[in-house]
Amino acid sequence: MQYRYLFFDMDNTLFDFDADEDQALAQLFKDQGVQLTPTIKTTYQTFNQNLWRQYEEGTLTREILLNTRFATFFKEQFNQEVDGPRLSQNYLDNLALGHDLMPQAEALLKALKAANIKLYVTTNGVANTQYRRLQDSGLITYFDAVFVSEELGYQKPDPRYFQSVFQQLEGISQAEALIVGDSLTSDVQGGQNVGVATAWYNPNQLANQMTDIQPTHEIEHLMDLLAI
């Protein structure tokens, strides 16, 4: 099977989200007069990942996630009352400035584009933040379309997310489509839910602990996609 349509996740697939998040959090905590220690950062990341998991599962809305996460975290950790929506916007503004790339990301996109492969972005991120990062990094030029959950009204892995994407790309063959991402529960599950092939980007060679989520392909390096 030759895949002619590739759908890329952004964070920790094309972009080094961990590096960009570090910069954004450091500035946010500095502005609040709180030292961001490694322990506090790890605690926040676990807390934040749990919220995004609830969002993926449809048990938490995007608005509640964004507007309450910092208010809840600062209250629980430091007994500090903060303006949740304001801190969230400050964080997103800081995050939008970060566009560190994962190794081989641009080289891969350039090679795929030269091979006339159609390329798309499929992300659960915040629209303004993601578009800014795509523009500032220059990666936007490689993509034929960008699909953000905030704009579609559905988030990965909800089957309606990719159903909406394919409806907008009328005429493409889902049998020739490949969804690429680092998340088993978002990207791979999302593809599985609509019967589309997936490539799990697993640079740290983590074990797949989820017997019900099985990617079609698994890659350690982004350039491994060329062989697929």
Name the one residue in this structure whose structure tokens are 């394919």. 166
Length, in residues, of the chain: 228
| Gap between the Cα atoms of 116 and 3, Å rounded | 11
Convert 77-94 into a string of H (helix), E (strand) and C (coil): HHCCCCCHHHHHHHHHHH
Is 31 catalytic? The answer is no
Cα-Cα-Cα-Cα dihedral of 50, 179, 151, 102, to 10°?
A: 70
For residue 112, give both structure tokens: 């795929």
| Gap between the Cα atoms of 8 and 11, Å rounded | 9
Of the residues 9, 16, 20, 158, only one is catalytic, namely 9
- CA proximity to 69, closest of 21, 117, 19, 132: 21
Edge-first strand order for the sheet with 177-181 is 145-148, 118-123, 5-8, 177-181, 197-201, 217-219
Which whole-number Å values give the CA distances from 119 to 5, 68, 108, 128, 175, in the listed order?
A: 6, 34, 11, 20, 15
* Residue numbers annotated as active site: 9
